[in-house]
Amino acid sequence: MGISLLLTGEYEEAAKRFVLALMIRRKALTSHHADVAETLTGLAHVQMRLARVDEALPLYQESLRIRERVLEPDNPLIARSLGHLGNAFVSKVAYGQAKVLYERSLSIWERADEPANHELVTGLTNCGVLLWKMGVFSQAKPLFERALNMTMVLFSPEAPEVATNKEIWPPSWRLSVNWKKQDVFTRPP
């Protein structure tokens, strides 16, 4: 129910539902159960939507600790948790902390079974935006290029997702892109 309320923008009510679910899950399950981590993440998402980054951070951190304890190191849920926590640190302008988390997340996504996947595109884009904000333009550009090329592989060059990805780019780079697919991961036949 909390997720439905989150998706419909009813954040205060979603927060109440997630808090209740968290209390129930902590009593019914161990404190280190994957479902507890999922509920913490949901509550953290709500707090982020309400611009309560200081409340979201410890929730994301606890969720990550649980997932790292109960899951394999390359589990996609750990990569997602790292990305969420990184996003929260970006909101706090704690770029150094966000960079470490984004890099860990990217390393997991790059070892995933599908070399071109939506999560990797998101991770590359997030890391590129972060590096751009940090003024490290030479490191940001290749990440943007990889993300855009993967998006073109996952969709078609005319897809709205490709246009959205292009809009993230700094204006000076938009016309200098090499659209060749030779360096792009392709989907298996």
Average pLDDT value for residue range 52-79: 96
Residue listed under structure tokens 């849920």: 77
Quote the percentage of the chain above a pLDDT of 90.
50
Tokens of 5: 């309320």
Residue type for 140, please? A
- How far apart CA 141 and CA 147 sit, in angstroms, is 10
Q: Which residue has the tokens 């000076």?
A: 172
pLDDT (average), residues 95-108: 95
Helix residue spans in 8-136 (DSSP H) = 11-28, 34-49, 53-70, 76-91, 95-110, 118-134
Give 112-164 pLDDT, tens digit per residue.
777 667 888 889 989 988 998 898 888 988 898 888 888 777 776 666 666 66
Percent of the chain at pLDDT exceeding 70: 78
What's this model's pTM, rounded to 2 decimal places? 0.81
Residues 6+ positions from 132 with CB-CB distance below 8 Å: 140, 170
Least confident of 6-10, 105-109, 160-164, 185-189: 185-189
The pLDDT assigned to 1 comes to 65
CA distances from 186 to 63, 135, 150, 153, 183 (A): 33, 31, 8, 6, 9
Residue-wise pLDDT tens digits, 158-167: 666 666 655 6
Q: How confident is the model at residue 90 (pLDDT cuts 50, 70, 90)?
A: very high
The 10 Å CB-count burial string (b at 16+, else e) for 132-170 is beeeeeeebbebbbbbbbbbbbbeeeeeeebeebeeebe
